[in-house]
A and B are shown apart, each in its own frame.
Chain A
Amino acid sequence: MKGTHLGEFQEIILLTILVLDDDAYGVTIKREINQRVKRSISRGALHTALTRLEEKGFITSEQAEGSPERGGRPKRYYTVSNRGIEAIQEAKALRDQLWSQIPKLRLQHPYAG
C-alpha cells in the first residue's frame, strides 16, 4: 500500500466526489472539476488520481449499467470511504490550525512585509 498522504489534486477530487454525491463517475467528476476549479484536466490524469485514491483506500468504486450515449458501456461510480472523509477532515483541520496561527497584522497587510 502506498503512503496515505493526500495531494492537492487528490483532495479536490475527493471533495468533488462528495459534492456529486450519487452521481460521481468519470465524466461528471471531470466536468465538475473543469467548471468549478477552472482547471482543464484530462481523463488520463483523472484516471491515475482515482487509481491512487482507491489504492490508498480513500474511495471505493462500483460498476453500474451504461447509458445509450456510451454505447451501453458500463460506468464506474465512486464513493468516498470513511477513511477518505477522515483524510480530508484531517487536511482541513491542519489548514485551519495553520490559518489560526497567522499573526493578524500579516493578514491585514498581506504585502506589508
Chain B
Amino acid sequence: MPESYHTPPALYARLFRKICRDELFEELHGDLMEEFHLNSEEQGVKKARSLYKKEVIKLIRPSVIKRSQKLKHQLNNTTMFRNYTKVAFRSLAKNKLFTFINITGLAIGMSVGLLIVNLVFDALKFDQFHTKKDRIYRVLTTPKRVGFRWDETATAPNLLGLKMKEELPGVEEVVRIRRRFSGRIKKEDGSLFTQGIYADDNFFKVFSFDLKQGNPTEALANPFSIILTETLAETLMPGENAMGKLLTIPDRGEFLVTGIVADPPVHSHVKFDVIVSFNTVAPLEQQGSIYEASTDWEDFSSSYVYFLLEEGQNLENVQAWLDKAGEEIYEPYENLTTTFATQSITSIVPGKDLNNQIGAELIPLPIIILGAVAMMIVLSACFNYTNLSIARAMRRAKEIGVRKMVGSSRKQIFNQFTVETVMVTVIAVFFSAMLFAVIKPLFITSIPRIDLIMQFETPPVLYAYFLLFAVFIGLIAGLFPALFFSRIKPLAALRSGSSMKLFSRVNIRKALIVVQFSISILFLITMNVVSKQYRYSMAYEMGFEKENILNITLNGNDAQRLTTELEKIPEINKISASSMLLGTGAVNRTILKNPQTNDSLYNSYISATPDFFDIHGLELLAGEIYEPRQPEESLNKMVVNEEFLRFQGYESPQDILGEAFYINTSLVTVVGVIRDFNFQYLEEPINPLMLFESPPSLNFLNLTVQGQDYVNTIDKIEKAWEKVDEDAALQARFLDAELEEVNGFLLIFVRVFGFLGIVAASIACLGLLGMAVFNAESRTKEIGVRKAVGANVGHLIMILSKSFMKLIGLAGVFGGLVAYFLLEKVVLAQTYYHVNVGILEVLSAALLLFGLAILAVGSQTWKAARANPVDSLRYE
C-alpha cells in the first residue's frame, strides 16, 4: 500500500482545519491522524476513512470550534441585554408622560385583544370532547325545488340514513338522530316538560357522551327506551335511581329508563334532556302523535344523519356514493333534485350557516369581524407607540450616536429598541389582564344567552398565550422605531441633534394618525347607524297590534284546557291560540301544492284560532275568517295574505276566494284575504302567508288584557296556569316586550361598537395628546420668538393645532366614506327594511371625535401658547 494513500479524507481534514480552534488544532489533529493510521492498519483504509469522517463530525461542538467575531458578540448578549433593560427602564422613568400614554394605550387595546383571544379559544373547543371527532361526519342536504329558494340544511332524509347503513362501504357506523322529542313526563306530583332527541342504538359508539348507567350498545335498542340526563333524573326522582323505571308521557306512551347519561357538555352542538330510541319513531308516527316523516324521501327537516368513517377510509368515496345516491333517489321526483354533502363534526360550530341546526349555531363571520376589529384596535395602540418613539428620536439620537461611536452595530441598536418595546408591552399586558378581568363579565352579561354556548373559561395556559401575544405585539410595535433608530448616522447625531433630518418620517406619522382616527370614526358611525336602525325597527308599523297582547308559552299543555280556565278571568277580553308570535322571526313552512299548475313549494304558514285576527287587528280585505275548527273536521279552510295571491298570480282578492290548494294531503279552500303585514322579523320582506287552524301546532295563547291592574291580572293568570300545569312556571310576556327582545341584538351591536369606538377613540386621543406635547415642546423656541414679535395666544393656538386638525378632518372624510360603504352595502343590506346612513350619524360621530381631539391638542397648545416668551427663549 503506497504511503500517500494513507491520508484521511481531504475534505474533512480541511473542514476540521477550518472550524477547529487554533490552540487545539495541533494536538487534536495529531490524535486524529494517529488514530487514523492505527485504524487503517487494523481495519483497513476504507473503514479508517469513514471513522475519521465520523470523528470530525462529532468534533463539531462548542468546546472545539472557533468562536467567530459574530459569535463573540452573541456571547456578550446577556450583558448587553442587561444594559438594554436598564437603559430602557431609565428612559421610561424619565419620560413619564410617554410611558403613561404608551402603557395605557397598549393596555386598553390589548385587553380587547385578550377578550377576543379568549372568545376564539372558547369557540374552537366545540365538539372537541368526542374521541373519534376526526372521523365523525354529518350529511348535509340541499333540496332544490323549482321556484323555491335553496338552502342547505343540516338535516337529511331519515331514509338516506337507512340506505347508508345498508349499502355504503367504508363507513363504520351510521347514526340517525331525529330532533324535537318533547313531552311531559308524569311524576308523583304533576308532570315535567322535557325535550330531547331520538337516536339509533349505536349512538354511543360514535359520540363520546358519558353514559353513567346502562349498556351503551343496548340502551337504545328497543322501542320506548329512554335515557335521561343526570340532572333530569335527579329532578324527576330525587335521591332515587331512575334506572329501570317506567315513565308515562301522555300522548306518547310508557317509556323504560335504560340509561343515565351525564349532561351534554356546554361545548356540544347537540343538547338534550332525554334520548329516546329511534325505534320509537315508527310506533309514534302510527299513533299519530308525531308527524309522519320517516318514510318520506321528501322529508328534509326532521332527522340528522351522522356517520363514523372507518379508519384509513377516504371521505371522497362517501361523497361519490352520496352524489350517485342523490341522483338516483330523486330521479322520479318532478321539480325536485337534491344534493348531499358532508360536514366534519368539528366544523359544525363554528361553521357555515345552515337551516335546521340541531343546537348551537355560530357562524365564523362575527368571530372574524370581531377579530379584525380587535386587531385594528391593538394596531392602533401600536401606532401610538411607533409614533411617539419616532417623535422622541431627537432625544435618543445622541445616545445612539455615542453607542455607535463606541462600536455598537446596527443590529445591536435594533435589538436594544426591540427589547425596550417588548418590555413596555409586557408591562402593559399585566395591566390589560386586569382590565380584561373587569370587561369579561361585562361582555358576558351584555350578550344574552351567550352562556348557553360559551363557557368563557380562562384556563391558565391562556395566560401564557397572553404573554406570547404581548411579546408579539411588542415586536410589531417596535419594528419600525427599531429600524429607524438603528439607521441613525452617528456623526450627524453627535454634531448637532437639531439639525438632523429626523422628521423625514413625518408623513408616516401623519398617516398613522389618520388611520387611527378613521378607525375610531368608523366605530362611532356604526354605533350611531345601528342604534338608528334599532329605533326604526321598534317604531316600524308592522301592520298588526302590538300593545296589550299577552302571550303564554304552552310548553306542551293543552290549549283548550288552559283557555277554559282563563276564560273565567274577567280582565281577559279575548283569547286565541297560535303557532308563532308575530314579528319574532320564527316562521313555519309547509308544502303547498297548486292543483292547477301542479307546482309544489314551501310556503309560510301560521296556525291560529279565529280570534287571532281580531286580537292582532289584522284587516280583512275580502271573504271571511274561518270558523273554529271542530275536532272531527279536517283541515279545509284558510286565509291568505295579499302577497300570496300576487305570488299565485291572482289579480284581486275576490278572485282567489273559493280556490283550493293542497297543504300536505288536505285540500284547503281560501275563504278570506287579509292585508299584508310583517309577520316575520324585519330582515325579511313580506312573504306569501297562509293562516289556518291546525291544533297540534298551537304553541302559544294570545290574550288581550283589559284594565290597568296588570299585576293582579297576571296573578290570576298564574293561578289558572297552576291548575293546568303544577310544576312548570308560567311563561307569559307582552308582545311588545317580545319584539323588543327580538330587536335586542341590534342593541348588543350598539353596545359592542360603542365600547370599541370609545376604546379606539381614547387610544387615538392618547396618541394625539402625546404628539401635541411633543410638538409644543419641540417648537418652544419658535413660539417664544413669535410671541416676542407680537403674535397673540389665539394665533399661536391656530398655528400649533392646524396640522392636527387637518389630519383629523381627513380622517373624518376617510372613515366616514368607509363607514358609509361598509354599512350601506354590507351591514344594512342584511335587513330588508332598513335605514340609510344619514348625514346626522356621520356628523355627530365626527364632531364627538373632533371635540375629543381639540381637548387633547388644545390643552397642550394652550399651555405652550401662554408660556412666557422669556422662558421659552431660554429653553435648552
Contact = CB atoms under 8 A, between A and B. Distances in A.
Contacts of B61: 44, 47-48
A44 B60 contact: yes
Interface stretch (A2-10, A64-72, A90-98, A102-110): A64-72
Interface string B12-42: 0000000000001011111111110110000
B479 to A, nearest CB: 39
Contacts of A74: 26-27, 30
B28 A43 contact: yes
B64 interface: yes
A26 B30 CA distance: 9
B54 interface: yes
Interface string A5-35: 0000000000000000000011100110000
A47 B26 contact: no
B30 A66 contact: yes
A51 B63 contact: yes
Interface residues of B, number: 21
B867 interface: no
Nearest to A29: B31
A30 B35 contact: yes
Given A30-B35, A47-B64, A51-B63, A42 B58 contact: yes
A44 B60 CA distance: 8
B59 interface: yes
Contacts of B59: 42-44, 47
Nearest to A66: B30
Contacts of A43: 28, 31-32, 35, 55, 58-59
Contacts of B54: 42
Contact of A48 (B31, B33, B63): B63
B27 A27 contact: no
A71 B30 contact: yes
Contacts of B58: 42-45
Contacts of B35: 27, 30-31, 43
Nearest to B24: A47
A26 B31 contact: yes
A73 B37 CA distance: 14
B60 A73 contact: no
Contacts of B28: 26, 43, 47
A75 interface: yes
A47 B34 contact: no
Interface string A50-64: 010000000000010
A42 B38 contact: no
Nearest to B26: A73
A30 to B, nearest CB: 7
B776 to A, nearest CB: 58
B55 A70 contact: no
A6 to B, nearest CB: 18
Given A42-B55, A69-B37, A70-B33, A26 B27 contact: yes
Contacts of B34: 27, 67, 69-70
A74 B31 CA distance: 9
A51 B38 CA distance: 25
A31 B55 CA distance: 14
Contacts of A70: 30-31, 33-34
B2 to A, nearest CB: 16
Size bin of chain A's contact surface: 20 to 34
Contacts of A76: 27
A73 B36 CA distance: 14
B676 to A, nearest CB: 89
Interface string B52-87: 001100111101100000000000000000000000
B27 A69 contact: no
A71 B219 CA distance: 85
A112 B384 CA distance: 72
A46 B31 CA distance: 12
Nearest to A51: B63
Nearest to A41: B58
Contacts of A75: 27, 30-31
A44 B64 CA distance: 8
B30 A47 contact: no
Nearest to B36: A69
B784 to A, nearest CB: 63
A68 B383 CA distance: 70
A84 to B, nearest CB: 19
A95 B583 CA distance: 87
B33 A73 contact: yes
A74 B23 CA distance: 12
A73 B38 contact: no
A76 B28 CA distance: 9
A48 B24 CA distance: 12
- For A44, A67, A75, the residue with the greatest tally of chain B CB atoms inside 10 Å of its CB is A44
A52 to B, nearest CB: 9
Interface in B335-360: none
Nearest to B59: A44
A50 to B, nearest CB: 10
A31 B42 CA distance: 13
Looking at A30, A45, A69, A71, the one whose CB has the most chain B CB atoms below 10 A away is A69
A46 B60 CA distance: 13
A35 to B, nearest CB: 12
A51 B28 CA distance: 13
B30 A73 contact: yes
Nearest to B38: A27
Interface in B787-831: none
A66 B37 CA distance: 14
B33 A69 contact: yes
B30 to A, nearest CB: 3
Contacts of A48: 61, 63-64
B55 A71 contact: no
Most chain A beta-carbon contacts within 10 A, residue among B26, B54, B60: B26
Nearest to A69: B37
A70 B33 CA distance: 5
A44 B54 CA distance: 10
A16 to B, nearest CB: 15
Nearest to A52: B63
A27 B63 contact: no
A70 B64 CA distance: 19
A76 B63 CA distance: 17
B60 A71 contact: no
A27 B37 CA distance: 11
Given A44-B64, A48-B63, A63 B55 contact: no
A2 to B, nearest CB: 12
A65 B38 CA distance: 19
A53 B590 CA distance: 88
Nearest to A30: B35
Contacts of B26: 73-74
Interface in B194-228: none
Interface string A75-94: 11000000000000000000
Q: Which 4 A-B pairs have the closest CB atoms?
A: A73-B30, A26-B31, A42-B58, A44-B59
26 contacts: A25-B31, A26-B31, A27-B31, A27-B34, A27-B35, A30-B31, A42-B54, A42-B55, A43-B28, A43-B31, A43-B32, A43-B55, A43-B59, A44-B58, A44-B59, A44-B61, A44-B64, A47-B28, A47-B59, A47-B61, A48-B64, A69-B33, A73-B27, A73-B30, A74-B30, A76-B27
Given A69-B38, A70-B33, 20 more contacts: A27-B31, A30-B31, A31-B38, A43-B28, A43-B35, A44-B60, A47-B61, A47-B64, A48-B63, A48-B64, A63-B27, A69-B33, A70-B31, A70-B34, A71-B30, A71-B33, A73-B29, A74-B27, A74-B30, A75-B30
